[in-house]
A = this chain, B = another copy of it.
Amino acid sequence: MLIVKKFGGSSVANKDRVMNVANRIIEDYKAGHQVIVVLSAQGGTTDILLEKAREITDKPSKREMDVLLTTGEQQSVALMAMAIESLGYPAVSLHAGQVGMITTSTYSNARLESISRDRIEMELERKNIVIVTGFQGINKYDDYTTLGRGGSDTTAVALAASLDADRCEIYTDVDGVYTADPRVVKDARKLEDITYDEMLELASLGAKVLHNRSVEMAKKYGVELVVRSSLTRAEGTIVKEECKVEKMLVSGVAADKDVARIAVVGIKDLPGNAFKLFSLLSKKSINVDIILQSVGRDGTKDISFTVHRDSKDEALEILNHHLERLSAIRVESDDNVAKISLVGAGMASNAGVATKLFESLYDAGINIKMISTSEIKISVLVNMDDADDAVRAVHNGFKLSGN
């Protein structure tokens, strides 16, 4: 069997954890499997490098930042290869250039374009455990690039897809995907399996187990993922195309506290004004989520929407700058909000789900500010202070703990 195992920065943060991971890798190798390991930079390393750059300049070029940051993974793969060799097993570390991890040229946020199988296959034939740098690639100029958030997960899935791996295991500091954040909901239940689509909704909604890009790629190439902990032996959660038929209607509930609500008030009701508004934002790569349009006074309308909190200031600047062009009166914003989402593949065909959601929140005395629905998800915007109560109320309302 060919297995790809990805370990995040906290799983290799120090000597003891490196040795722990080395031993888990060797277990699979001893069982006769071919093993490819993808590593992030050791926990803390990236912060040290960012600080070194910040000391020199507030605005480092993205190209040089990538040159600097890629050293983090290069260090962790070298140390892991040493650790495995010190335990008596053959290992070889490879960086992005050596595995032909070709990306676009967008430094700091590059997209994978292709992977060359040659070097990895050669090392596997030589019976080596192959340790590959996550998060990084090279562009057509032979410059280092980095893949942005969730980059190492993406590297692992891409390798698994490219090499037809039998399994792709994503090791993290939680032991699977839960029906809700266990820190908020005490009786949250670990899911045995979940579909790609459900995972995509959960990932984008603040369940920070897997990054969307890696799940999208896994779905596209049919790579079955296992999310599990590097610190325990628990089974983990499988992410795949279809789950058991007897699966519950609802998989989980997630809270996203990194949102902000923006309202453009008093837009003159002319055709094209809404289009203008959102095209201004998309030009600056600002993603808009829940959208609500309501009728204002004197033949005007108000448009409200949510954005990632980091984009709020930029969005406000753009909108205020173009207020006249949009024929609007003013822009308001509120970042004291959170988005609560209920996710489940069986939801679309069951009209009662939305009703039960609203009822659960009503019973808990929680006010809903905005609503958005999709095939497998219902999201509501609530006050930040209500976020955890809302998650508990919904989790309880849908009996997600299984009790």
Contacts and interface: CB of A to CB of B under 8 A. Distances in A.
Interface of A: 15, 18-19, 49, 52-53, 55-57, 59-61, 63-65, 67-68, 70-71, 74-75, 77-79, 81-83, 85-86, 92-93, 95, 97-98, 119, 142-144
Given A64-B81, A67-B77, 13 more contacts: A18-B56, A19-B56, A49-B75, A53-B79, A57-B86, A60-B86, A61-B85, A64-B79, A64-B82, A67-B78, A67-B93, A67-B95, A68-B75
A252 B128 CA distance: 53
28 contacts: A15-B55, A15-B56, A52-B75, A52-B79, A53-B78, A56-B83, A56-B86, A57-B82, A60-B82, A61-B81, A61-B85, A63-B92, A64-B78, A64-B79, A64-B82, A64-B85, A65-B78, A67-B77, A68-B75, A68-B78, A68-B79, A70-B74, A71-B71, A71-B74, A74-B74, A95-B144, A97-B97, A97-B142
A70 to B, nearest CB: 7
The count of identical subunits is 2
Given A97-B97, A97-B142, A53 B82 contact: yes
Nearest to A67: B78
A85 B68 CA distance: 15
A34 to B, nearest CB: 20
